Structure 1
Amino acid sequence: MTARDVNREARAVVRATKLNKKTWILKMVSSQPKYDLIREVGRGSYGVVYEAVIRKTSTRVAVKKIRCHAPENVELALREFWALSSIQSQHPNVIHLEECILQKDGMVQRMSHGSSSSLYLQLVETSLKGEIVFDPRSAYYLWFVMDFCDGGDMNEYLLSRKPSRKTNTSFMLQLGSALAFLHKNQIIHRDLKPDNILISQTRMDASNLEPTLKVADFGLSKVCSTSGLNPEEPVNVNKCFLSTACGTDFYMAPEVWEGHYTAKADIFALGIIIWAMLERITIVDTETKKELLGSYVKQGTEIVPVGEALLENPKMELLIPVKKKSMNARMKQLIKEMLAANPQDRPDAFELELRLVQIAFKDTNWDT
């Protein structure tokens, strides 16, 4: 898509006035423009992300634009909306949804969970039926306004720097805290990977000058609803079984490949991430040729996702560490448990958070 196409599309989606070569006004409401779009910072098959500022406060935000022209796009967008809008409180390591705007042609409205709006219900019906139920000649878009992260993703940040024990420790603690928070809020992420973990350098902790991580991209997430005899009792995500095999191959647990899994699949994915981070194990994306943090098993000349290898051979002993000469015994044991073939042998997110804290603060001389 050319720059001309991008500009034409943007004009069709928002009422835009050119401020300079890289700035447009995003008019979310009919009265006064609320956001200034500064520049495009990311693009994929799912949507386009812009850096923007709130006009009243000059606060930087990220604005994700999703075109609802196909059922799969609608489903991904709604899953992200349902997950982020279900969270009643904020967490420093989970991306925050400021608001979501639904647009049809020139008409816009703020979207709320459980809305009776006909536009919203048409999107829900599209997601459920797997086919477009609204007039395909109309342009439907969802605009997500979220935290802006200025440090790229976890891959870009770590692989452009020398390994640091301090950074590794900080990142592990933040990720453990984020996952415990999500599972407490009945959210299974289902696509945890370094690409989906963003870095905010503007929010560095003054005490250690390490950046803040933000778990993002909830398009494949699942919010586990209440069920059973007592609907008031919080759902245990480790007893909420899912059957849709989804995620990214190198981070998928063995049971996900089979299509019968719980939130323990998130524990496995985080185990892959932490292992890869500590040893700087990388894979290369075959399409983009981008180097990514990710662990794997070698079978002859091929590299195989750990989860797929464990599905074929549950008794396989993982070689940890695989690159370094040694690893702290408690860290090594925790990673092995996180990557256990049997999900029941993995810690849950709350035990994991506690054990990461114990490793970080009790074993002050651990080597990573």
Structure 2
Amino acid sequence: MSQLSTCSPRVPPPSRACAEAAALSSTSGAGRPRLPAAEPRNNGSGFFKGDTTAPAGQGTASSQMIAPSPALPPPRQLHSAQIWLSDSDKRCSLPARGADARPPTSGRASPRGPGRGPRPAGIPARRVRRCPRPSAPATPHTFPQLETLTLKMVSSQPKYDLIREVGRGSYGVVYEAVIRKTSARVAVKKIRCHAPENVELALREFWALSSIKSQHPNVIHLEECILQKDGMVQKMSHGSNSSLYLQLVETSLKGEIAFDPRSAYYLWFVMDFCDGGDMNEYLLSRKPNRKTNTSFMLQLSSALAFLHKNQIIHRDLKPDNILISQSRLDTSDLEPTLKVADFGLSKVCSASGQNPEEPVSVNKCFLSTACGTDFYMAPEVWEGHYTAKADIFALGIIIWAMLERITFIDTETKKELLGSYVKQGTEIVPVGEALLENPKMELLIPVKKKSMNGRMKQLIKEMLAANPQDRPDAFELELRLVQIAFKDSSWET
């Protein structure tokens, strides 16, 4: 289960919480202030031991169930700012086309491709921003007094011990924690619900992960979600009729705070803890290895097929959001376990209105919000009309970059990132943006000779097809990668 990253890809990765560090970035490009040092603390419910902050307007809590945590190391700056915007996704509906249908031109980044030459100046890869929601709270008005009896107190004693802080940003804080009864390590992500953007990101992640009825070894697992209002807590469940939960849903839908802004609302996500960093750090701190490449491709395709089978479109697949678990390695299995994480931009496709019992196909669920990270976005995402085939395109970018070690430098964080691109003069352009401008463009795959065989070359070209209908779906992709892995005795062309 995974760990938090540093900015140097050549240093062995330190410990990282699987709870989506990309969503916790506090880079200046995010356009949001960092969280204040003091945050409301659980004042009386005692669910998490070691959370030592106090609610605004209240004194220090005197509860003996909350013990001060030891001195924490300075929080690390994380990368890849998470931006979430209003989602106007509608199933099987065509969005308006026009000059404003396409998001702003993406930022450029410094290439450092197969030749690893000089790093020209540039600006970092970023998430696409469109139609930002207002972040100011709604005008205060009279709020009904919360009935304490409606809150189910989860525990009178702390269930988790917070060991150390492993990440902090405008979206929240991630801790390494231990379950008291079992001593098992988990990642605990504390999200401050002080702005509609934070609430929407948190709820989208909760809805996606809580909708999965079974676990998959390559998808991050949500143990439980705790909703806190000031000093009261309750376990949150999907479809709950709790007034606190409904207020968060209303905030997400309206884009304005629907609860008393004088109260401190928090969501606590208890998730897998991973100890191997992210995919960028793991691969770029080691020499290329065919066995590792094969293992990673099979794991990622299996995870994506699982998500699409469960009607979840990830919408932000990239190496930063793929975490590494090494804690369960033994002599018979030397390859680490990947965990697809960060579901803050994900979309759960609903059933058909005519037949709610009929499973929906993610390849027929059309979305219209341009979101994601530009270097991994499919051309149709830039237009604002896409399906789950956009995830196939993103995975194609990742696999191509992994096999040939194609990287660029994020000049804001100075971090080397895996990602394929198209070079136009002195600039590098995201593949999806280049294909949107020229759908007939022929991609140079492979860049290096003997980096992949003919079958792999053909599959990557199909995954990166400009027309999403020409791409394989997740189930065909998984099958073909298994055939390539086990039928081909050599990676040579």
Which range is displaced more, 200-209 or 301-310? Answer: 200-209
Contact 2:192 2:267 (C-alpha < 8 Å) held by counterparts: yes
Q: 1:308 to 1:7 in 2, by over 3 A?
A: closer
- Helix, strand or coil at the partner of 1:12: coil
After superposition, what is the alpha-carbon deviation per residue over 1:109-139, rounded to whole angstroms, capped at 9, x for unaligned? 1000000111100000000000011111211
Q: 1:23 to 1:147 in 2, by over 3 A?
A: farther
Q: Displacement of 1:285 after TM fit?
A: 1.6
After superposition, what is the alpha-carbon deviation per residue over 1:42-89, rounded to whole angstroms, capped at 9, x for unaligned? 233322211111000000101111111110110000000000000000
Ranked by relative contact order (alpha carbons within 8 Å, sequence separation 6 or more), the top structure is: 2
CA distance in 1, matches of 2:254, 2:138: 34
Q: 1:366 to 1:129 in 2, by over 3 A?
A: same
Match of 1:7? 129
Contact 1:276 1:282 (C-alpha < 8 Å) held by counterparts: yes
- Structure 2: gaps spanning 5 or more residues: 1-122, 140-144
Contact 2:323 2:339 (C-alpha < 8 Å) held by counterparts: yes
CA distance in 1, matches of 2:481, 2:239: 37
- Helix, strand or coil at the partner of 1:120: helix
**TM-score w.r.t. structure 1 length?**
0.91
Larger Rg belongs to: 2
After superposition, what is the alpha-carbon deviation per residue over 1:198-225, rounded to whole angstroms, capped at 9, x for unaligned? 0000133653310000000000000000
Q: 1:108 to 1:347 in 2, by over 3 A?
A: same
Match of 2:111? none
Q: Which residue, out of 201, 208, 215, partners 1:90?
A: 215
Contact 1:151 1:199 (C-alpha < 8 Å) held by counterparts: yes
Which structure shows the higher strand fraction? 1
Match of 2:298? 173
Contact 2:138 2:257 (C-alpha < 8 Å) held by counterparts: no
Q: 1:243 to 1:13 in 2, by over 3 A?
A: closer
- Helix, strand or coil at the partner of 1:112: coil
CA distance in 2, matches of 1:9, 1:354: 39
Which range is displaced more, 322-331 or 166-175? Answer: 322-331
Q: 1:176 to 1:106 in 2, by over 3 A?
A: same
Contact 2:251 2:257 (C-alpha < 8 Å) held by counterparts: yes
CA distance in 1, matches of 2:148, 2:336: 28
Q: 1:10 to 1:65 in 2, by over 3 A?
A: farther
- Helix, strand or coil at the partner of 1:171: helix
Q: 1:294 to 1:3 in 2, by over 3 A?
A: closer
Q: 1:194 to 1:119 in 2, by over 3 A?
A: same
After superposition, what is the alpha-carbon deviation per residue over 1:316-338, rounded to whole angstroms, capped at 9, x for unaligned? 00001124455200000000000
Q: 1:178 to 1:96 in 2, by over 3 A?
A: same
Q: Detail structure 1 runs of 4+ shifted over 6 Å in the superposition.
A: 1-17, 20-28
Q: 1:208 to 1:10 in 2, by over 3 A?
A: farther
Count residues in correspondence.
Answer: 366
Which structure shows the higher helix fraction? 1
Q: Displacement of 1:16 after TM fit?
A: 31
After superposition, what is the alpha-carbon deviation per residue over 1:154-180, rounded to whole angstroms, capped at 9, x for unaligned? 001111001100100000000000000
Contact 2:450 2:492 (C-alpha < 8 Å) held by counterparts: no
- Helix, strand or coil at the partner of 2:130: helix
CA distance in 2, matches of 1:256, 1:285: 22
**TM-score w.r.t. structure 2 length?**
0.68
Q: 1:21 to 1:141 in 2, by over 3 A?
A: closer
Q: Displacement of 1:29 after TM fit?
A: 3.8
Q: Displacement of 1:8 after TM fit?
A: 34
After superposition, what is the alpha-carbon deviation per residue over 1:244-276, rounded to whole angstroms, capped at 9, x for unaligned? 000000000000000000000000000000001
Q: Which residue, out of 102, 126, 140, partners 2:227?
A: 102
CA distance in 2, matches of 1:68, 1:199: 28
Match of 1:267? 392
Which range is displaced more, 90-99 or 42-51? Answer: 42-51
Q: 1:181 to 1:35 in 2, by over 3 A?
A: same
Q: 1:26 to 1:3 in 2, by over 3 A?
A: farther
After superposition, what is the alpha-carbon deviation per residue over 1:21-50, rounded to whole angstroms, capped at 9, x for unaligned? 999999994411100111112233322211
Q: Which residue, out of 171, 184, 193, partners 1:68?
A: 193
CA distance in 1, matches of 2:396, 2:346: 18
CA distance in 2, matches of 1:4, 1:83: 23
Q: 1:100 to 1:300 in 2, by over 3 A?
A: same
Q: 1:116 to 1:104 in 2, by over 3 A?
A: same
- Helix, strand or coil at the partner of 1:276: helix
After superposition, what is the alpha-carbon deviation per residue over 1:78-108, rounded to whole angstroms, capped at 9, x for unaligned? 0000000000000000000000001111111
Contact 1:154 1:199 (C-alpha < 8 Å) held by counterparts: yes
Contact 1:251 1:268 (C-alpha < 8 Å) held by counterparts: yes
Match of 1:247? 372
Q: 1:223 to 1:317 in 2, by over 3 A?
A: same
- Helix, strand or coil at the partner of 2:320: helix
CA distance in 2, matches of 1:228, 1:30: 40
CA distance in 2, matches of 1:82, 1:33: 26
Q: Percent identity?
A: 90
Contact 1:99 1:144 (C-alpha < 8 Å) held by counterparts: yes
Q: Displacement of 1:10 after TM fit?
A: 29
CA distance in 1, matches of 2:134, 2:462: 51
Q: 1:348 to 1:21 in 2, by over 3 A?
A: same
- Helix, strand or coil at the partner of 2:315: coil
CA RMSD in angstroms comes to 7.3
Q: Displacement of 1:4 after TM fit?
A: 30
